[in-house]
Amino acid sequence: MCKKYNVAVVGATGLIGGKFLETLEKRRFPINNFRAFASEKSAGKILRFNGSNYIVEKLDGNDFSGIDIAFFSAGKDVSLKYAPIFAETGALVIDNSSAFRGDEDVPLVIPEINAADVFKRKKNVIANPNCSTIIALVPLKKILEKYGVKSLVFSTYQAVSGSGMKGVSDLLLTRQGFSGKFYPYDISETVIPQIGEIVEDGYAEEELKMINETRKITGRNVKISATCARVPIENCHGVSVEVETETPIDVSTLAAEAEYSAARYKRIPTAYDANGKNEVYFGRIRKSGVFKNGFSYFAVGDNTLKGAALNAVQIAEYIIKNTR
């Protein structure tokens, strides 16, 4: 009989937490015991999962022994504080926050691209990449192997669900003419071309995440420029990607190569089409007007699923399948 695991979701009441529950249930993840954690204000609430009711627990002062796999999505500060405690107590932590993505002892994994990196972990923690990084890179698996990638230019079109419940409620409020509480501008009426604080050389946090994470995942010192923008869409991120390859490419074969790890959409891929889907869709493949050996494509994916919960669950599934 297949082994079952004691699983925890930290941030279970949040937008991505809910997607974790949905994904684990849909994929029939082999669960023995399940525990749901959130902030003190949610402790005692009931969550429905896999046909049973679970009481939401607080983290502070709790006993985490016996947990095999913990999916974290409660923000960076919670991960920094509690992921090491879970890991030391014996759980494999798969963390959706940015807390450990830059840590050399923590693999940063998109299963389609670098699944085997999970075995390089030194801390019992694996980091889930930023949603836009995942969506941009999934179509590149074969292209990285076959041609090598020298430079990348990313331009994102990121949905408000990437900001969690606060982002979604701002869009819904402002669409109805009420004032928003989270974004500095009325998100129903504009694109906001900055996500996070400006950190260095004019680059904002989200852009630096895409740059640094892409280098770690591909294991290459790729030259990268990124511009990340928030758009008035409820769910699903789009990314325009311009690629310079190391060797010459034949544009007519690229779609078939991208299809190795992503899904070709019958029409141009839009956020609407990707909503609720597991796949990253790509389209608009064409020769670059800038790079001699280069091309462009557009990728779109559900940032709450492949960009977050699904990717993390796929990491756990890969480890289960490949550990005996």
Contacts with ligand A2P by CB under 6 A lie at 11-15, 17, 38-39, 41-42, 59, 74-75, 78, 164-166
Smallest gap from residue 112 Cβ to ligand A2P (A):
25
Pick between residue 164 and residue 283 the one whose CB is nearest to ligand A2P: 164
Q: Known catalytic residue: 236?
A: no
Alpha-carbon gap, residue 286 to 281, rounded angstroms: 15
For residues 269 and 299, the answer to whether their CB atoms sit within 8 Å is yes
Pick between residue 166 and residue 286 the one whose CB is nearest to ligand A2P: 166
Smallest gap from residue 58 Cβ to ligand A2P (A):
7
Q: For residue 323, what is the enclosing H or E element?
A: none
Pick between residue 13 and residue 314 the one whose CB is nearest to ligand A2P: 13
**Letter string b/e over residues 149-176, b meaning 16 or more CB atoms within 10 A of that residue's CB:** bbbbbbbbbbbbbbbbbebbbbbebbee
Q: Sign of the C-alpha dihedral, residues 299, 152, 215, 210?
A: negative
Alpha-carbon gap, residue 158 to 169, rounded angstroms: 15
Pick between residue 216 and residue 237 the one whose CB is nearest to ligand A2P: 237
Q: Known catalytic residue: 228?
A: no
Smallest gap from residue 142 Cβ to ligand A2P (A):
34
3-state secondary structure 53-110: EEECEECCCCCCCCCCEEEECCCHHHHHHHHHHHHHCCCEEEECCCCCCCCCCCCECC
Pick between residue 40 and residue 201 the one whose CB is nearest to ligand A2P: 40
Alpha-carbon gap, residue 142 to 113, rounded angstroms: 9
Smallest gap from residue 11 Cβ to ligand A2P (A):
3
Smallest gap from residue 126 Cβ to ligand A2P (A):
19
Tell me the catalytic residues: 131, 237
